[in-house]
């Protein structure tokens, strides 16, 4: 579930959610969420109660999944380093960029559980780079250069969509699809069916370097993956 990040959050709802969270944080400081995070959950989950329940589920998931420890899993990071990268540079409006070269993906040469953990690691790394006072969402770039149908990994995309909707709500600012071959339209018809209208509206197909310059400087994209 992803809402419109331009929609203002009701301040009374924010206060009520903060009051609820404060009761939990006083008992367990690890449950801390700042105002930016609470606003994202309120935008995504509509009501105070739904947002509160979603936060509790995310906190439980983070502990059970070992999210905080993923940055120390050097073997995992090295093994899947060619699958995605959080870039040093940002897009035009200051969003951290997660770059995904689709040509390096195949459902035949990955462990889905390991790769999902690597995706979480990338989302964590990118989220930590947000200047939340300015902009608190991400730019995800899917580069389809040299893409073939054997690179299409629907399960990984399903997992990414689930993570963004459940545990990283409102973190997606824009998703750029670059260098898409004509036959990818069939894949997109399937993928689009998994997205709500607002999320689908954040996906942009970029057809030229000039168009890409509206979002980021093309020279910052990796050439070594």
pLDDT in tens, 81-131: 999 999 999 999 999 999 999 999 998 889 999 999 999 999 999 999 999
Strands 96-101 vs 85-90: parallel, antiparallel or unpaired = antiparallel
Tokens standing for residue 113: 């559980």
| Full residue range of the structural domain in which residue 81 is found | 75-218
Q: What is the CA radius of gyration of the chain?
A: 18
57 and 94 in one domain?
A: no
Residues 130, 21 within the same domain = no
101 lies in the same domain as 202: yes
Q: 214-223, pLDDT tens digit by residue?
A: 999 999 999 9
CB 104 within 8 A of CB 82: yes
Runs of H (alpha helix) within the chain: 11-25, 35-45, 48-65, 74-79, 112-128, 154-166, 184-192, 197-200, 209-212
User: What is residue 6's predicted lDDT score, i.e. its pLDDT?
Assistant: 54
Q: CA nearest 157: which of 125, 126, 203, 124? A: 203
Domain count, the chain: 2
User: What pLDDT, on the 0 to 100 scale, is given for residue 7?
Assistant: 65
Q: Give tens-digit pLDDT for 89-103.
A: 999 999 999 999 999
Last residue of a domain, one of 65, 83, 109: 65
The residue ranges of the chain whose pLDDT is under 50 are: 1-5
Q: Are residue 61 and residue 79 in the same domain, yes or no?
A: no
Structure tokens at 165: 């909707």
Backbone angles phi, psi at 214, to 5 degrees: -70, -20
> CA-based diameter of the chain, in Å?
55
């Amino acid at each position: 579930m992803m809402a419109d990040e331009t929609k203002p959050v009701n301040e009374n709802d924010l206060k009520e959610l903060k009051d609820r969270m404060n009761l939990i944080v006083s008992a367990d400081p690890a449950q801390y969420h700042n105002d930016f995070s609470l606003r994202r959950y309120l935008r995504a989950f509509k009501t105070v109660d739904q947002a509160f329940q979603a936060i509790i589920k995310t906190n439980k998931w983070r502990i059970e999944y070992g999210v905080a420890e993923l940055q120390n899993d050097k073997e995992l990071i090295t093994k899947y380093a060619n699958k995605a990268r959080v870039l040093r540079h940002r897009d035009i409006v200051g969003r951290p960029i997660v770059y995904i070269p689709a040509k390096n993906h195949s459902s035949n040469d990955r462990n889905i559980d390991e790769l999902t953990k690597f995706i979480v690691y990338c989302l964590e790394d990118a989220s930590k780079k947000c200047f939340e006072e300015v902009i608190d969402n991400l730019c995800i770039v899917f580069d389809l250069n040299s893409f073939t149908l054997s690179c299409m990994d629907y399960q990984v995309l399903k997992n990414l969509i689930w993570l963004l909707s459940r545990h990283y709500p409102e973190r997606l600012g824009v998703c750029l699809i670059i260098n898409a071959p004509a036959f990818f339209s069939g894949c997109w018809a399937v993928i689009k069916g998994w997205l709500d209208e607002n999320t689908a509206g954040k996906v942009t197909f970029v057809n030229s370097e000039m168009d890409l310059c509206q979002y980021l400087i093309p020279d910052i994209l990796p050439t070594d993956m």
